Amino acid sequence: MTLTKQQVREVLDVYIRAWEDQDPALIVSIFTEGATYHERVMGEPIRGRDGIRDYWQTKVVEGQANITCDLLNLYLDDDTAIAEWQAEFDDTAQQIRKRMREVALLTFDGHLIASLREYWASEVVALSPAATHSPGTVTGQDLDGG
């Protein structure tokens, strides 16, 4: 059975909901058991559902808050999708609000993601109220973009 753009859209809707709701159990439901997730494509991928769940717990649940995300574009060629989205979230470690634009390459096995590679850039939207009144305030020069 051929993968359709609507089916990919439904998977991405779950991805966005899992991100906005900070739900590690939901995010792994759309990946194959042996999936790979490249958050930084020059590094080693995160492997398998357990690895993706652990990454999501650390990066999203413990490190982000007040997340919004909008899918901007979606393209499909056979079992490979290209998705572009924009998100905003509070980076709780750096005490800043970020805007991120991302392009993701997703390879599907049936209706599940077998491989995801992210290419993104981010910018600071605002400092959190706590950061503006505390010693060691974060500035744009302090940020690594991630």
Percent of the chain with pLDDT over 90: 82
pLDDT (average), residues 80-86: 98
Cα distance between residue 106 and residue 87, in whole Å: 18
Cα distance between residue 93 and residue 145, in whole Å: 13
SS (H, E, C) 80-103: EEEEEEEEEEEECCCCEEEEEEEE
Q: What pLDDT digit, counting tens, does each position of 15-41 carry? A: 999 999 999 999 999 999 999 999 988
Determine the pLDDT at residue 144. 45
Q: 111: closest CA among 27, 19, 1, 26?
A: 1
Structural domains of the chain ordered from first start: 5-139 (3.10.450.50)
pLDDT (average), residues 115-130: 88
